[in-house]
Homo-oligomer: A and B are copies of this chain.
Amino acid sequence: MSLKQEIENKLNSLTKPIGSLGMLEQIALQIGLIQQTATPQLPNKKAVFVFSADHGIVEEGVSAYPMEVTAEMVKNFLNNGAAINVFANHNQAEVFVVDAGVASELPKHEKLLDKKVGFGTKNFLKECAMSKEDVKKSLRYGQELANFAKESNVEMVAVGDMGIGNTTTAAAIASALGIELDSLIDIGTVIPQKQVEHKKTIVEKALQKHSPFLSPEDVLEKVGGYCFAQMAGFILGCAKHNIPVVIDGFPSSVGALAAYSLDNSIKKYLFAGHLSAVKGHRAVLNKLGLKPILNLEMRLGEGTGAVLSFSIIEAAIKMINQMATFESAGVSKGDEKQ
Question: Taking the nearest CB of chain B, how far is it from the CB of A96, in angstroms?
Answer: 19
Residue of B nearest to A67 (CB): B332
Q: Verify if A82 is at the interface (C-beta below 8 Å from B).
A: yes
Q: Verify if A150 is at the interface (C-beta below 8 Å from B).
A: no
Given that A17-B299, A298-B24 are contacting pairs, would A334 and B82 also be in contact in the complex, using a CB cutoff of 8 Å?
no
Q: What sequence of 0s and 1s flags, for each residue 278-322 of chain A, a beta carbon within 8 Å of any chain B beta carbon?
A: 000000000000000111111110001000100110110011001
Q: Verify if A16 is at the interface (C-beta below 8 Å from B).
A: yes
Question: Taking the nearest CB of chain B, how far is it from the CB of A334, in angstroms?
Answer: 4
Q: Verify if A331 is at the interface (C-beta below 8 Å from B).
A: yes
Given that A24-B298, A311-B311 are contacting pairs, would A64 and B335 also be in contact in the complex, using a CB cutoff of 8 Å?
yes
Contact (Cβ within 8 A) B76 A329: yes
Q: Verify if A277 is at the interface (C-beta below 8 Å from B).
A: yes
Partner of A75, one of B17, B75, B83, B330: B330
Contacts of A324 in B (CB 8 A): 76, 79, 81-82
Given that A75-B330, A82-B324, A332-B72 are contacting pairs, would A20 and B298 also be in contact in the complex, using a CB cutoff of 8 Å?
yes
Partner of A81, one of B63, B64, B79, B329: B329
Docked Cα-Cα span, A334 to B69, in Å, equals: 9
Residues of chain A in range 77-103 having any CB-CB distance to chain B below 8 Å: 79, 81-83, 85-87, 89-91
Q: Verify if A190 is at the interface (C-beta below 8 Å from B).
A: yes
Partner of A76, one of B15, B66, B72, B89: B15
Given that A22-B298, A83-B319, A296-B293 are contacting pairs, would A334 and B68 also be in contact in the complex, using a CB cutoff of 8 Å?
no
A interface with B by C-beta (< 8 Å): 14-24, 63-66, 68-69, 72-73, 75-76, 79, 81-83, 85-87, 89-91, 189-192, 277, 293-300, 304, 308, 311-312, 314-315, 318-319, 322-324, 328-332, 334-336
